[in-house]
């Protein structure tokens, strides 16, 4: 697969952004977000990086240093947000508290907080679009997980462009790697010899996401595409139902489905 061409097609087909738009790429330091930043820069989009330092010891430190060097070499500016400074606690502490109090799994908590920070900072940076490195495998996993949880409505953002643009307070999130399998991105990043870490987050073990990822190892890329494409047919209906309920969190002012957003519910436990 020619990933660069696939990304170009997805941007055009789904009207993700234009060359004059300010595109902020959420960088975890992993192969997906690094590759998407590299490709968008190569395609001459107006890109910059935004990274949350999760404060996970050596792992975060290496990711941070490697992303600083990568962005410098690429000639792209990078904003690093320190999670501890932003919310007052490190992610490990937050996860432990939430596990005990609410029995929430680590990846759920981390995902909520990351989305909250990225949305806030993308707006602060004046982003027209916020790019994430979500790939075909992530999306197929989400479809299966939401179905097994009995809540397909959670898949409302499963699209190359989330519904954010039409809701006040949301930076429109877009996923140029939506149709690109993880195997292809891994190949691409290795071929380009990106100086990054290829291992998974050290906190993501024994979680539902990890289990789902393991089943997905037995499914071909073609099947993953079918799962995602077939689910796409349901998204417009789900979206209509979902957006009607959006309002502002009365604690932080960010968009929320309830009176208080999920991130503020987490912060209230700390
Ligand atoms: P994950 O939820 O770790 O699979 O990450 C999905 C996408 O979210 C990545 O491809 C990034 O675009 C973004 N992301 C994850 N972690 C971070 C982080 N620490 N800082 C900024 N963006 C992130
Ligand atoms: Zn809030």
The pTM score is 0.93
Q: What is the pLDDT of residue 205?
A: 64
Element (H, E) at 208: helix 208-216
175 in contact with ligand 1, CB cutoff 6 A: no
Give the chain's residues under pLDDT 70. Answer: 163-167, 204-206, 242-245
Nearest ligand, measured from the Cα of 267: 2
Contact 171, 162 (CB under 8 A): no
Number of Cβ within 10 Å of residue 174's Cβ equals 27
Residue 161's nearest CA partner among 134, 199, 193 is 134
Total residues found in the chain within this entry: 270
pLDDT in tens, 67-80: 999 999 999 999 99
- Kindly give the distance from the C-alpha atom of residue 140 to the centroid of ligand 2, in angstroms, as a whole number: 29
Spatial distance between the Cα atoms of 187 and 159, rounded to a whole number of angstroms: 24
Spatial distance between the Cα atoms of 76 and 193, rounded to a whole number of angstroms: 18
Q: Could you tell me which residues are beta bridge partners of residue 129?
A: 23
To test the pocket of ligand 1, the residue of 132, 171, 207 to mutate (highest count of ligand atoms within 8 Å of its CB) is 132
Q: What is the pLDDT of residue 164?
A: 59
pLDDT in tens, 5-44: 999 999 999 999 999 999 999 999 999 999 999 999 999 9
33 in contact with ligand 1, CB cutoff 6 A: yes
For the CA of 26, the closest atom of ligand 1 is 22
Spatial distance between the Cα atoms of 183 and 94, rounded to a whole number of angstroms: 32
- Kindly give the distance from the C-alpha atom of residue 199 to the centroid of ligand 2, in angstroms, as a whole number: 32
């Amino acid at each position: 697969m020619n990933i660069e061409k696939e990304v170009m097609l997805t941007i055009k087909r789904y009207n993700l952004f234009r060359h004059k738009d300010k595109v902020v790429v959420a960088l975890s330091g992993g192969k997906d977000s690094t590759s998407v930043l590299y490709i968008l820069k190569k395609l001459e989009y107006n890109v910059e990086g935004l990274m949350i330092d999760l404060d996970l010891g050596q792992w975060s430190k290496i990711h941070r240093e490697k992303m600083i060097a990568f962005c410098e070499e690429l000639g792209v500016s990078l904003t690093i947000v320190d999670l501890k400074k932003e919310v007052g606690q490190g992610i490990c502490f937050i996860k432990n508290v939430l596990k005990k109090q609410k029995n929430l799994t680590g990846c759920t908590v981390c995902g909520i907080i990351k989305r909250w920070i990225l949305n806030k900072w993308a707006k602060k940076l004046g982003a027209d679009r916020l790019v994430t490195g979500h790939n075909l495998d992530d999306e197929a996993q989400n479809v299966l997980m939401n179905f097994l949880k009995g809540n397909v409505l959670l898949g409302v953002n499963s699209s190359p462009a989330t519904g954010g643009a039409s809701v006040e307070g949301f930076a429109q999130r877009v996923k140029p790697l939506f149709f690109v399998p993880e195997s292809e991105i891994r190949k691409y990043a290795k071929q380009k010899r990106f100086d990054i870490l290829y291992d998974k987050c050290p906190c993501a073990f024994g979680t539902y996401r990890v289990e789902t990822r393991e089943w997905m190892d037995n499914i071909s890329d073609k099947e993953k595409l079918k799962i995602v494409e077939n689910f796409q047919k349901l998204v417009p209906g789900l979206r209509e139902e979902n957006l009607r309920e959006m309002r502002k969190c009365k604690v932080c002012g960010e968009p929320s489905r309830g009176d208080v957003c999920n991130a503020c519910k987490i912060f209230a436990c700390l």
